[in-house]
Structure 1
């Protein structure tokens, strides 16, 4: 399989102090990898490090290659960032319609007609498993969707960018059992299409969805007064 992301001795630092890592892993096209570890080990922080979204004062060390290209911290270009997309734990739904939300990120990276954007949105909503539920209300407010639908809308918004890799941060942690199962079905359907890195606190979910796991241990150098998620 083609390697989409290769991390070597990835670390997250605050000044000279290492807060998370080192951790090394590869994400292959079409595979789903679980990022596991105890609470506070820095799983979500690793995801943010991969897309240069670390909080102020933290930096990434080690080597990161995306699609064979070395990505220096703070130097990634917009095209490359669109290839690795983070879907956060709490679904962010913007004001506007379902369609507006589905193409929100896409509008910023491509110049296309409304018809083309709508086609890309439909394809993404289908891949996210949401199309059948929203096809008749694309112009309705996205804020009217249920929690599970909002999570899948955020997934569709990421898929619309046609990324090589998706980083999913606890995508079902705030959902009821029925909504969780629906989102899991959408994530499972990504196998063979995208490289997926999944953070989950649920070992059973990792077993259901992931081909391999990467274990992130609590760093012994982490100070008790530093919060890492």
Structure 2
């Protein structure tokens, strides 16, 4: 399998303070990797660093390559964030229909006919395991969906971009058991087609879904500071 993301000695700093790292790992095409560590160690911050979405005041150091391309630290890299997509912990549902939400990112990236866009959105909903539940209600408001369905809608929105990699930040932490199982089924179905980096507080979930695991340790000199960055 080819490497989609290569990380070497990644660190995140706030001025003089080391908040995260160093951490090194590879994300391979078709493989799901778990990113684990104690609460407050900076797992979510690592995900944001990989797509240059760090909060103001935080900086990334170390080597980051995506599909063999070295990624310099900068904000506003739309190409990067279409190649590797971050799906946040809290599902963000925009105003408009279920279909509008599935198409949200794709409309800004791909100039194509409505027919082609709709086909991509429907494929993504199928890949995210949501199609059978919404096929006859695509024009209904997205806010009518349950929490678990919203999470899978966000996954479909990311998949519509046909990314090489997906970064999933605690995708089931706020869900009941039934909804969690459905989201897990969707993540498991991605094996073989995407490189997935999964942050989870649940060791059993990591065991079920992940091929490999990366453990993130607390920086020695940043015990108090790291707690502020999740």
CA-to-aligned-CA distance 1:44-99 (integer Å, 9 cap, x gap): 00000000111110011101000000000106742232000000000000000000
Stretches of structure 1 that go unaligned for 5 or more consecutive residues are: none
**Structure 1 contact 172–180 (Cα < 8 Å) conserved:** yes
Name the residue aligned to 1:53.
53
Contact residue 7 and residue 26 of structure 2 kept, 8 A: yes
Alpha-carbon offset, residue 223 of structure 1: 4.6
Match of 1:194 in 2: 194
* Distance in 2, Cα, partners of 1:68 & 1:137: 41
Q: 1:55 and 1:127 mapped to 2: Cα distance? A: 31
Residues 170-179 or 13-22, more deviating: 13-22
Q: Aligned-pair distance for 1:224?
A: 1.7
Whole-angstrom distance in 2 between the partners of 1:207 and 1:90: 23
Distance 1:156 1:105 in 2: 10
1:92 matches 2:74:
no
Query: Contact 2:51/2:80 (CA < 8 Å) preserved in 1?
Result: no
In structure 2, what is the Cα distance between the partners aligned to 1:45 and 1:79? Answer: 20
Counterpart for residue 181 of structure 1 = 181
Which residues of structure 2 form unaligned runs of 5+? none
Secondary structure of the residue that 2:224 maps to in structure 1? coil
- Paired position in structure 2 for 1:217: 217
Which ranges of 4 or more aligned residues in structure 1 deviate by more than 6 Å?
A: none
**What is the SS of the residue equivalent to 2:104?**
coil
| RMSD between aligned residues | 1.0
CA distance in 1, matches of 2:53, 2:108: 18
Give 1:7 deviation, angstroms. Answer: 0.3
- Structure 1 residues 127 and 59: CA distance shift in structure 2, 3 A: same
2:135 is matched with 135
Residue 198 of structure 1: how far off its partner (Å): 0.0
Larger mean CA deviation between 103-112 and 152-161 belongs to 103-112
Cα contact 2:52–2:77 (8 A) shared by 1: no
Q: TM-score, normalised by structure 2?
A: 0.97
Residue 158 of structure 1: how far off its partner (Å): 0.2
Q: Verify: 1:228 aligned to 2:229, yes or no.
A: yes
* 1:79–1:109 CA contact under 8 A, matched in 2: no
Q: Secondary structure at the match of 1:180?
A: helix
Q: Aligned residues, how many?
A: 229
CA distance in 2, matches of 1:223, 1:203: 23
| Rounded Cα–Cα distance in structure 2 between residues aligned with 1:76 and 1:203 | 34
Q: Distance in 1 between matches of 2:225 and 2:165?
A: 33
Mapped contact 2:19–2:225 kept (Cα < 8 A): no
